[in-house]
Amino acid sequence: MAIPADGHRAISASADHTLQVWDLETGHSIRTLRGHADVVTAVVVAPDGLRAVSASADCTLRVWDLETGRSVCTLQGHAGAVNALAVTPDGLRAVSASADHTLRVWDLESGGRLVCTLRGHTGAVNAVAVTPDGRRALSASADHTLRVWDLENGGSSVCTLQGHMAWVTAVAVTPDGRRAVSGSADHTLRVWDIERRQLLRTLEGHTNSVTALVLMPDGSRAVSGSPDHTLRVWDLKTGQSVRTLAGHTDWITAVVVTPDGRHAVSASADHTLRLWDIKRGQSVHTLAGQTEGITALMPMPTGRCAAMASDAHLLRIWDLESGDLLRVLAGHTDWITAVAVTPEGSRALSASADGMLRLWELEAGRSPGTLAGHTDVISAVAITPGGRRALSASADGTLRLWDLETGRSLRTLAGQTDVVTAVAMSADGRCAVGVCESGVLVAWDSATGDTRRIHTGHTGWITAVAVTPDGCRALSASADHTLRMWDLETGQLVRTLTGHKDLVTAVAVTPDGRRALSASADHTLRVWDVESGNHLAGFSGEGPMLRCAVAPDGRTIFARDKSGRGHCLRLEGLD
């Protein structure tokens, strides 16, 4: 379980192979993340709050885009279940702990490249923590020991900490990086001096194994969970148990603390999560239910209205001038991942995690039918300029071309084994470009099904793609802070657009093909000249910018930031 830095949400890992994103204020589930093939054992949120990394008994890790719920890359290499993971403070690397007795260090910016493997434990590695300076990692193992690793020197083992009498199940490091706290199946917690390699004190009180452990933000206290159904709050200076939190009816599997240190969230085998007031020692509420967050948006051809999709399975039509809600469309049975509108603005097509596409008549507010064929979450959808056909991309590894008049699947586009996470089409509808989880762009001729693979060379995963109206070029946006322009005929790189200071989250091209628009986690929107690659204009928001789109007039821009706030802007004075 993990809590992003804003303190408003929690992410829980589950035995049903999924992760759930929760609103801590309402206690409602706002999103389900699907992709693992076995129990999800751990989850960590990156420092930017936009990504999460999960570990699973399926021997893999996955990196997730928390705004879209998409799995952006899969990290493979362990030969056993991945039991735990940690992310370095700069968000650039992840360290995973596995039942195969090893830890592995992964480069998250390069799409999950394996950096090194840490070997030395003689039993399953159950937990891992990284020091605040990112230089060292500490691991806890079934061999009854903890190990300290040097992450700057190829992952060499610095020392072994011995003292526990059974499996070491958990480990955490204080904010100053000087002390570590470990939990064990011997029912105790132990506090260690990392530099001196000494045991400072043993904390006793649980009547069963310690299965969960977290430190308060100031490092003065620890909160532990146990199969004895309780959580305990410990004073690390005195070693005393200062509070017992009771309420769960089964063993506690995970616990996290909010950034302000006021609340804890615990997960239990009783199938509940509980929010606790640490100072009062009381359960505030049990997390359940559902609320909404915007998952996709699309401006109407007139530029006056926009369609917004939500993870409450609803599609809403808004008047951008008055701010009025015009219509709510219901029909999907899972969260909506993407939406596209026909050129004349009379119909919309929504894609969902329920594996269905749904066509909507916007004036009547009804759905005349669904497009069925995909066997997994549909991640993206685009409609041809003529409004007669659509292209969808799915986690089932395929793209499908659809006839919107008949609802029939015309062609299944294949040629690769990667999961397709985003898709774009040229103005004539002939060229389609898909983004693969491996970082490859695949260009398809939608008439013949012929494919061309473009190895982009991005050093981070690709977050979005757009195609120029003439179908000659594509722009890819990446977590490596850049955009790249490609010649779709030759597959060659035309130029790289640099300037963003954080991952680029979205890209769009104006209808005349002269300008490109990008959104970034660095809180900005940027306007680019497609021909020269020059940066023409920018807009700064109050938080990470996650979505952007251009209306058919080529001047009206619609964008959304991380807080959910929408921005309607006009491009002026660029000619």
Query: What's the pLDDT at 364?
Result: 83
CB atoms near residue 118 (< 10 Å) = 25
Query: What's the pLDDT at 289?
Result: 31
Task: Return the CATH superfamily for domain 459-575.
Answer: YVTN repeat-like/Quinoprotein amine dehydrogenase (2.130.10.10)
Query: What's the pLDDT at 307?
Result: 59
Please state the domain extents for the chain: 83-286, 293-414, 459-575
Query: What's the pLDDT at 460?
Result: 78
Between 463 and 188, residue with greater pLDDT: 188
The pTM of this model reads 0.57
Answer yes or no: same fold for 83-286 and 293-414: yes
Residue 549 in this model has a pLDDT that exceeds 70: yes
Residue 310 in this model has a pLDDT that exceeds 70: no
Q: Which of 216, 211, 213 is nearest to 172 (CA)?
A: 213
% of the chain at pLDDT higher than 90: 37
Q: How confident is the model at residue 288 (pLDDT cuts 50, 70, 90)?
A: very low
Residue 205 in this model has a pLDDT that exceeds 90: yes
Residues in the chain: 575
Residue 138 corresponds to which tokens in the numbers above?
């500490």
Query: What's the pLDDT at 223?
Result: 96
Residue 291 in this model has a pLDDT that exceeds 90: no
93-115: pLDDT as tens digits: 999 999 999 999 999 887 788 99
Which long-range contacts link 453-457 to residues 24+ away (Cβ below 8 Å)?
Answer: 453/415, 453/416, 453/491, 454/486, 454/491, 456/484, 456/486, 456/493, 457/484, 457/493
The dotted CATH code for 293-414 is 2.130.10.10
Query: What's the pLDDT at 161?
Result: 97
Query: What's the pLDDT at 290?
Result: 30
Query: What's the pLDDT at 158?
Result: 93
Query: What's the pLDDT at 299?
Result: 45
Question: How confident is the model over 557-568, as a mean pLDDT?
Answer: 77
CA distance 130 to 173: 7
Q: How confident is the model at residue 489 (pLDDT cuts 50, 70, 90)?
A: confident
CA torsion through residues 145, 150, 154, 156, sign: negative
Query: What's the pLDDT at 419?
Result: 67
Question: How confident is the model over 72-85, as a mean pLDDT?
Answer: 92
Question: How far is residue 126 from each of residues 80, 98, 141, measured CA to CA in Å?
Answer: 12, 7, 5
Residue 44 in this model has a pLDDT that exceeds 80: yes
CA distance 200 to 207: 22
Q: How confident is the model at residue 319 (pLDDT cuts 50, 70, 90)?
A: low
Question: How confident is the model over 14-22, as a mean pLDDT?
Answer: 81
* Average pLDDT of the residues of the chain: 84
In this predicted structure, which of 249-263, 425-439, 495-509 has the lowest mean pLDDT? 425-439
Residue 212 in this model has a pLDDT that exceeds 80: yes
Between 421 and 488, residue with greater pLDDT: 488
% of the chain at pLDDT higher than 70: 89
Residue 88 in this model has a pLDDT that exceeds 70: yes
Residue 38 in this model has a pLDDT that exceeds 70: yes
Between 227 and 567, residue with greater pLDDT: 227
User: Into which CATH architecture does domain 83-286 fall?
Assistant: 7 Propeller (2.130)
Measure CA 523 to chain center.
18
Residue 415 in this model has a pLDDT that exceeds 60: no
Question: How confident is the model over 132-138, as a mean pLDDT?
Answer: 94
Query: In degrees rounded to 5, what are phi and psi of residue 478?
Result: -140, 160
In this predicted structure, which of 172-181, 320-329, 350-359 has the lowest mean pLDDT? 320-329
In this predicted structure, which of 128-142, 176-190, 195-209, 274-288 has the lowest mean pLDDT? 274-288
What DSSP assignment string belongs to 88-131? Answer: -TTSSEEEEEETTS-EEEEETTTTSEEEEEE---SS-EEEEEE-
Highest mean pLDDT among 247-261, 375-389, 471-485: 471-485
Residue 21 in this model has a pLDDT that exceeds 50: yes
Residue 239 in this model has a pLDDT that exceeds 90: yes
Residue 384 contacts residue 429 (beta carbons within 8 Å): yes
Residue 19 in this model has a pLDDT that exceeds 90: no
- Can you say whether residue 14 is alpha, beta or left, with left for phi > 0 and alpha for psi between -120 and 50 degrees? beta
Q: How confident is the model at residue 7 (pLDDT cuts 50, 70, 90)?
A: low
Measure CA 121 to chain center.
31
Query: What's the pLDDT at 3?
Result: 67
